Amino acid sequence: FWERHLNRLCRMHELREKERISVAAASKLLANIFWQYRGQGLSCGTMVAGWDKKGPSLYMVDDNGDRHKGNVFSVGSGSTFAYGVLDTGYSYDLTVEEAVELGRRSIYHATHRDGASGGVVRVYHVHEKGWTKMIAGEDVNKLHYMYAAEKNLRGDE
């Protein structure tokens, strides 16, 4: 609901200002909404990623009204598990392919250990010309056996 709402606000900005909204402004619009509803029970962790005049930016916005700019974030019940894999493999100089693989692997590990996470992995690449769906929907069960095979394990030990 709120992301659809943010979509409308960003479009209104474009119509009024005749200019694409910045990532900082878009993320702040959302963070301010969450701040207004603070304590009323909304539950949401979001990554606002985009390109603007300052280049690529990533903001993490959550239901507390927190908004942080950064290069690496993980959010949700399985976030701690994802951080482990993410922080081990991360460097600013990763190529797109390496980053996509790191993201996929981090999500897989989170789904493996967190009971509340699972299903499929989707990975999106946000770039100057917009966004591309890099991985459409890979079943984590399949990834489990794939990563096990890389270590010469069967995956059901």
Partner 1 sequence: MQAPVEQRWSPYADNGGTCMGVAGEDFVVVAADTRLSQGYSIHTRNCSKVTQLTDKCVIASCGMKSDAITLHKHLKARMVMYEHQHRRQPSVTAIAQMLSTTLYYKRFFPYYTFNVLCGVDDEGKGAVYNYDAIGNMERVPYTTSGSGSALVMSVLDAQIAKSNQTIATPSLDKAGIVELCKDVLSSVGERDIHTGDYAEIFLIDAAGISKTEFDLKLD
Residues contributing to the site for partner 1 (CB under 8 A): 1, 4, 40-41
CB of 4 to partner 1, least distance (A): 8
Query: Cα separation of 155 and 157, whole Å?
Result: 6
Closer to partner 1 by Cβ: residue 22 or 141: 141
Closer to partner 1 by Cβ: residue 37 or 131: 37
Closer to partner 1 by Cβ: residue 40 or 152: 40
Closer to partner 1 by Cβ: residue 34 or 81: 34
How would DSSP label each residue in the chain?
-HHHHHHHHHHHHHHHHSSPPPHHHHHHHHHHHHHHTTTTT---EEEEEEEETTEEEEEEEETTS-EEE-S----STTHHHHHHHHHHH--TT--HHHHHHHHHHHHHHHHHH-TT--SEEEEEEEETTEEEEEEEEEEHHHHHHHHHHHTT--S--
CB of 35 to partner 1, least distance (A): 16
CB of 33 to partner 1, least distance (A): 12
CB of 1 to partner 1, least distance (A): 4
Closer to partner 1 by Cβ: residue 40 or 91: 40
CB of 42 to partner 1, least distance (A): 8
Q: Specify burial of residue 104 (Cβ count, 10 A radius: 0-12, 13-18, 19+).
A: buried
Which structure tokens are listed for 41? 């029970």
